[in-house]
Every structure is written in structure tokens, then in C-alpha cells.
């Protein structure tokens, strides 16, 4: 548990640095709220995994670039990390220069969006012990198709949670410029879903039948 807390705190510290250094101030209630919310929720989910699915926690704690990962996914993940860093820095600069303002009530909605993103992640982990941060088939862990929980409604619930995250965070931080990054994140995730689907259809028995039953990838009745 101590190792989990240290890793979680370091990750929060990195995000804090990416926000507060460009902002040039620590007087940013939205950022403190975001970091506190992420610290508590991520620690809660991590503690649950530690208790009920340590194998998944180990998998989720691994590198975002791995040996058996498709090369195109490696490139995509690196691109996502670069955009993620730029996203945080821009929102910090938005705070410094006050380019645009977000009403307090929308910031509150943003906090709800962050909570929903983590909650959807928890629901995904609860059902799918193979929810790796990289695209791969985990044959050593008897990888199988998961059809229960949120997977009964969409094929990629983690990406549904990511949508709440990439909308909620900039609203909570009070940055319309941060929200402007949403199309870039959506485009990259759409490409990654295509890579993941191709891998699963090729190498995971039963995935084609599952995809035929659950038509929607991320948003029910839309896509």
C-alpha cells in the first residue's frame, strides 16, 4: 500500500508541476481541487485493485511502451503523452494570462466529469482483468472476451471514461483552451480503437461474435 501511495503521489506531483509552473502561481482553487480529487479517487481504485486484482494493478503500473505492443500503438501512445503534457501546460498558461474564463457552475460540472471518468475506469477494471494500458493479447494470463458490466453496452468503456476526463478536467480548471484539445484526443483515441479492434479480432477468440452483439464502441446509439 505504501508503494501505491508513493507512486500515486508522484504522479499527482508531476501533474501539479505541469499546471502550476506555467500558471506562475499556486493560487488556483480549480487545480487544487482537481489534484485532490484525482489523488483520492486514484488511490481508492488502486487500493481496490491491490485487494481484489493485484495482477491487473501490476499490468496497469507497467510501462506505456512495451516489447509486445504493436509499433503503431507505441507511436500513438508517445503522441498521446506529448499532447497530454502540452494540454496541461496550455491550461497553466491560460490561468497565468487569463485568456478566457469558465463560470463556477461549469467548473463544478467539470469536477463531476472527473469523478465519472474514474468511476467508469473502476467499473471497467472490476469486469476486465485484462485492461492493459497497451494494445496486446495477454496469452500468459488466459486472455478472454469480457461481455459483462459496461462491456454489455459498449466495447471500449475505458475510452468512454476518457471522454468525461478530457471534458471535465479543463472545465474544472477553468480553461476553454484546454477544452479545445478535445477533438485531438478524440481523433487519436478513434485511431487507437481501430488498432485495438484489429488486434482483438485477429487474435482473441470470440471477439468477432461479441462485436456483432455489442454494436457500439464508445457511446451507445452513436458510435
pLDDT confidence of residue 74:
86
Contact 191, 75 (CB under 8 A): no
Per-residue pLDDT, 221: 85
- Quick one: pLDDT at residue 45? 95
At residue 61, the pLDDT reads 83
Of the candidates 28, 25, 77, the one whose C-alpha atom is nearest the C-alpha of residue 192 is 77
- Residues 29, 102 contacting (CB under 8 angstroms): no
| Phi–psi pair at 116, nearest 5 degrees | -65, -35
What does pTM read for this prediction? Answer: 0.91
Distance between CA 162 and CA 135 in Å, rounded? 16
Assigned CATH for 2-213:
1.20.120.1630
In the chain, domain spans:
2-213
Query: Residues of 181-213 as b/e, b for ≥16 C-beta within 10 angstroms?
Result: beeebeeebeebbeebbebbeeebeebeebeee
Q: How far apart are the first and last CA of the chain?
A: 39
Q: Mark the ranges of the chain whose per-residue pLDDT is less than 50.
A: none
pLDDT at 86: 97
What is the per-residue pLDDT for 32? 98
Q: What is the pLDDT of residue 186?
A: 94
d(CA 61, CA 106): 32
Q: Are 110 and 167 in contact (CB under 8 A)?
A: yes
For residue 177, the model assigns a pLDDT of: 95
Amino acid at each position: 500500500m505504501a508503494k501505491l501511495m508513493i507512486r500515486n503521489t508522484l504522479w499527482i506531483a508531476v501533474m501539479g508541476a505541469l499546471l502550476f509552473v506555467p500558471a506562475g502561481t499556486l493560487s488556483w482553487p480549480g487545480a487544487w481541487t482537481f489534484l485532490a480529487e484525482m489523488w483520492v479517487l486514484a488511490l481508492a481504485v488502486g487500493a481496490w485493485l491491490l485487494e481484489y486484482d493485484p495482477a491487473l494493478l501490476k499490468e496497469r503500473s507497467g510501462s506505456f511502451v512495451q516489447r509486445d505492443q504493436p509499433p503503431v500503438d507505441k507511436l500513438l501512445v508517445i503522441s498521446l503523452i506529448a499532447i497530454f503534457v502540452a494540454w496541461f501546460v496550455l491550461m497553466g498558461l491560460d490561468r497565468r494570462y487569463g485568456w478566457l474564463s469558465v463560470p463556477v457552475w461549469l467548473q463544478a460540472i467539470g469536477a463531476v466529469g472527473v469523478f465519472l471518468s474514474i468511476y467508469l475506469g473502476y467499473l471497467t477494471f472490476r469486469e476486465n482483468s485484462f485492461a492493459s494500458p497497451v494494445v496486446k493479447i495477454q496469452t500468459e494470463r488466459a486472455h478472454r472476451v469480457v461481455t459483462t458490466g459496461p462491456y454489455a453496452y459498449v466495447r471500449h468503456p475505458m475510452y468512454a471514461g476518457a471522454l468525461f476526463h478530457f471534458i471535465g478536467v479543463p472545465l474544472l480548471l477553468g480553461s476553454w483552451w484546454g477544452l479545445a484539445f478535445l477533438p485531438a484526443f478524440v481523433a487519436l483515441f478513434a485511431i487507437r480503437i481501430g488498432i485495438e479492434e484489429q488486434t482483438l479480432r485477429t487474435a482473441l477468440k470470440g471477439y468477432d461474435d461479441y462485436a456483432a452483439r455489442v454494436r457500439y464502441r464508445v457511446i451507445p446509439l452513436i458510435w
